[in-house]
Structure 1
């Protein structure tokens, strides 16, 4: 697992323009299995802990509304950053990614995240 996550982190850093931070977190336990940041003082594990509450709230809302739906991703646009919470296909993990909105290519970012979330479902 650690080799896969190291490769995942290396590819994210290398291939996503505007990369700021990334974390892979288990939804049920809240355990972060991988995290990295290009900015001093930006703690992706702390950010994931707060974003886990966002994911859980949305899952509860879907359940309360009786919707037969699942979350693909949640995007939060800040002044200078975009934060993406991408849920794995098995709904057990999420990838939290922060990018600089001035340098990010959102299409490429989402395409790479879709590739990685398929791999995460099978390898973790």
Structure 2
């Protein structure tokens, strides 16, 4: 794993309240460059593979509707978790982040993810 990806994972683990899991995945190939989970029962690479299908479906819907906008992020709210799929500006990569909704603040989580995403996207 590259140093900047190691640092990204460490920053997320240390600074995002309620952190559960994170991945960085390439959209075109589905290659997961890095993943980490706080729980052995939560496989972030499997979650990332399914979330790739969500991203592709939404991209197809945007195209079918003739929209010129790009996806910034996709938010999935579960009973006890929040899942964020945050795409790079060029749409080539996404960061998947899961947090415990009882410990996380959505605004703070999104702000921290945006902060740490800049370093990852600039290196990939």
TM-score range normalised by the length of the shorter chain? over 0.9
CA contact (8 A) 2:4 2:119 kept: no
Report the CA distance between 1:115 and its aligned residue: 1.7
CA contact (8 A) 1:90 1:121 kept: no
Q: TM-score, normalised by structure 2?
A: 0.96
Equivalence for 2:8 = 8
Equivalence for 1:86 = 86
Secondary structure at 2:29's aligned position in 1?
Answer: coil
CA contact (8 A) 1:89 1:118 kept: no
Report the CA distance between 1:108 and its aligned residue: 1.3
**Structure 1, 107-116 or 67-76: larger mean CA deviation:** 107-116
CA distance in 2, matches of 1:120, 1:55: 19
CA distance in 1, matches of 2:47, 2:26: 14
CA distance in 2, matches of 1:38, 1:115: 21
Equivalence for 1:25 = 25
Report the CA distance between 1:122 and its aligned residue: 1.4
**In angstroms, what is the RMSD of aligned CA positions?**
1.0
CA distance in 1, matches of 2:119, 2:74: 19
Equivalence for 1:38 = 38
Secondary structure at 2:69's aligned position in 1?
Answer: coil
Q: TM-score, normalised by structure 1?
A: 0.96
Q: How many residues align?
A: 124
The runs of 5 or more residues in structure 2 that have no matched partner are: none
Q: CA deviation digits over 1:92-123, x for unaligned, max 9?
A: 10000000000001111101111222222210
CA contact (8 A) 1:81 1:99 kept: yes
The runs of 5 or more residues in structure 1 that have no matched partner are: none
Secondary structure at 1:9's aligned position in 2?
Answer: helix
CA distance in 2, matches of 1:3, 1:44: 20
Equivalence for 2:56 = 56
Secondary structure at 2:118's aligned position in 1?
Answer: helix
